[in-house]
Structure 1
Amino acid sequence: MRKTIFFAGIDPSIAYEVWPFLLHLYPFDSTFEQREQIRHNKYLHYQKIRARREAPINDPEQLQFFHDVEAIIEKDVVRTDRSHPYFKGDDNPNLRIMKEILMNYAAYCPTMGYNQGMSDLLAPILTIIQNESDAFWCFVGLMNRTIFISTPTDDVMEKQLRYLRKLLLLMLPSFYEHCVKLSDGLDLLFAHRWILLYFKREFPERGEFNN
């Protein structure tokens, strides 16, 4: 199913129904009743995550962690897809929802916390799903099964760059040879953002939000 959608895309009018399956919120073989129960249980779980995050914190290290995370998230949220109607305007409540989801994700997965660029990955999900709890769990599904990388020296980043080098050698041999002649050409620094954000900023807005 995912392979078919990858190549054929989906009608934008049903994206909000399809994405929760693609992002592992619902099993493909689930019934309507099962999905409703999953959604309800996930909502309750999300409220517990929020309550735990908003509870008083006595540990200085944990307090500093959330202070630092919030500062970065606030800077990123106000710069994410602000030209899109869903996020336009200084008093747009969807900006607050995006911040809440990212803060709650940091509480849910403190080992990952928050890294710059996560807001770029959340924005299309929130725009399509338009429900805070559902968008949160779809975001969790994305983060659990993809390779969001916090530093360009990670092994996973290098693995992706190796694939890209092989593609360049195969598809654009003259450009590959040009990179070889440069001292750091095969580091492919120009491509790091593509991999970090899964080409999110490179695709036209229509395709990014609707397929």
Structure 2
Amino acid sequence: MVPVIGSGKFITTPIITDDGQPVELEGEPVISSVPDKKVAQWMYFLHQIGLDVIRTDSSLAFYESETNQAKLRDILAVYSWMDDDIGYVQGMNDICSPMVILFENEADAFWCFERAMRRLRDNFRCETTSMGVQSQLITLSQVIKTVDPKLHQHLEELVGGEYLFAF
């Protein structure tokens, strides 16, 4: 669908518009067409993945290699295709990065990441009414309110009672 996946090249610009139409670069479309909504959503994720990969652990010598960056990008691109519900959300790159560093084999790194995401994916769920981590922040608020009511009250007064700072 997108020949750049697996090639070691990066997508750091959008390849489709917000309404799912192919973007043209230098007068030529990057892709010929978008067959369906799932493909359009995935292509939209590829742009964000490309941007996030080049920022991931950029101070590490490991990521000075474009080959290593490409491994991270490819794993995230394949995962976002497989996860129909969430796809890709910023922050997944930070979870995947240690696996790319630790496992030389890209497939091993992918399956380790996929397994970790089974437990963590709800943290990335974003809906109009709630964030994925919102229930955890509510629990944290309740714990602090019980353990240290003065701190909780102080945070409430600072309009920090939703505990978004902890996220």
TM-score for the superposition, normalised by structure 1: 0.56
**DSSP 3-state at the match of 1:127:** helix
Percent of residue pairs identical: 29
Instruction: Write 1 or 2 for the structure with the bigger share of helix.
Output: 1
* Aligned equivalent of 1:209: none
**Given the alignment of the two structures, is residue 71 of structure 1 paired with residue 47 of structure 2, yes or no?**
yes
Deviation (angstroms), 1:124: 1.2
Q: 5+ residue gaps in structure 1?
A: 1-49, 51-55, 193-211
Q: Which residue matches 2:162?
A: 187
Residue by residue, what CA displacement relative to the aligned partner does 1:106-144 show, whole Å, maximum 9, x if unpaired? 122222211111101101121122321011111111111
SS at match of 2:161: helix
CA-atom RMSD in angstroms: 2.4
User: Which position in structure 2 is the counterpart of 1:126?
Assistant: 100
Work out the CA distance in 2 between the residues paired with 1:170 and 1:159: 17
Q: Alignment length, in residue pairs? A: 135
- CA shift in 2, pair 1:58/1:161, >3 Å: closer
Contact 2:62 2:68 in 1 (8 A): yes
How do residues 46-61 of structure 1 correspond to structure 2 at under 5 angstroms?
59-61=35-37
2:99 counterpart letter in structure 1:
I
User: SS in structure 1 opposite 2:86?
Assistant: coil
Give the counterpart of 2:119 among 142, 145, 154: 145
CA distance in 1, matches of 2:152, 2:37: 47
Q: More relative contact order in 1 or in 2 (CA 8 Å, sep 6+)?
A: 1
Please state how far the C-alpha of 1:170 moved relative to its aligned partner: 4.1
Report if the CA contact (8 A) 2:126-2:132 is conserved. Answer: no
Partner AA of 1:114 in structure 2: Y
Q: Which runs of 5+ in 2 are unaligned?
A: 1-5, 7-31
| SS of match in other structure, 1:59 | coil
Q: Displacement, 1:104?
A: 0.5
How do 1:5-20 and structure 2 match up within 5 A? none
Match of 1:98 in 2: 72
Q: Give the CA deviation at 1:101.
A: 0.3
Residue of structure 2 equivalent to 1:166: 142
With the length of structure 2 as denominator, give the TM-score of the two structures: 0.70
